[in-house]
Structure 1
Amino acid sequence: MSFKPIDESKEDFRLYLAKHGVLDALTKVIAKIQRLQPENPLEFLSANICTSLCLQETIKDLEMKIADANQEIHRLQKENERLKQQQMRFNHK
């Protein structure tokens, strides 16, 4: 039994695709094609890859908005605590 040596440039390209989620995205859509057997698999592939990319962008955007909102909540909690302490000092005078 003989093994073919791995073509380094092909392996580098495979790693690049895997790193950026391309292989995973394609595998998921191809599995969906196998399961659903759409009339036009290429059109289905194109539509589903685009949908996947749009969803990823939307998720990233929402994650950034959540992080910003959490920072604002933290800032407002600090401000609220400061104002409560100021009010307590004012009421004790």
Structure 2
Amino acid sequence: MSSNTQGSYRPIDSKREEFRKYLERAGVMDALTKVLVMLYEEADKPQDAMEFVIKNLCADRPEMAELENLRSNVEALQLKVQALEEQKARLKQRLAVYEPVDQDEEEEEEEEDGGGDDEGEEGDVGRTSEQIPPAQVQPEA
């Protein structure tokens, strides 16, 4: 019975050893050891040790640096879009002074804009109201 007991544990031990070697080859063991040493050497231990491990384990990966870079680019572009939307609104107000639009045209423009989807207006950015041609109004039948 003792030989059967040892025989049944041997495959599990060999599987564990094989898995351990796999983790070492992949660099997982070194990365985990490095992060755990960093946590051990921290003077002020963080409240959430798991968060510390996850943050520091992924910090060295280039994908994380790229992700942070992309996030900051998205924030900058969102601010730029907001500034351009405000500029567009100011320019529309200025244009209204020079070329008043009747109520029917204004409603048509809003429908064409589609709630902020300004596809055809990119070429008008930076042009003064004198340079923008007046809208072609066709009489209704």
TM-score normalised by the chain length of structure 1: 0.50
TM-score normalised by the chain length of structure 2: 0.34
Q: Rg bigger for which structure? A: 2
Task: Report which of the two has the higher share of helix.
Answer: 1
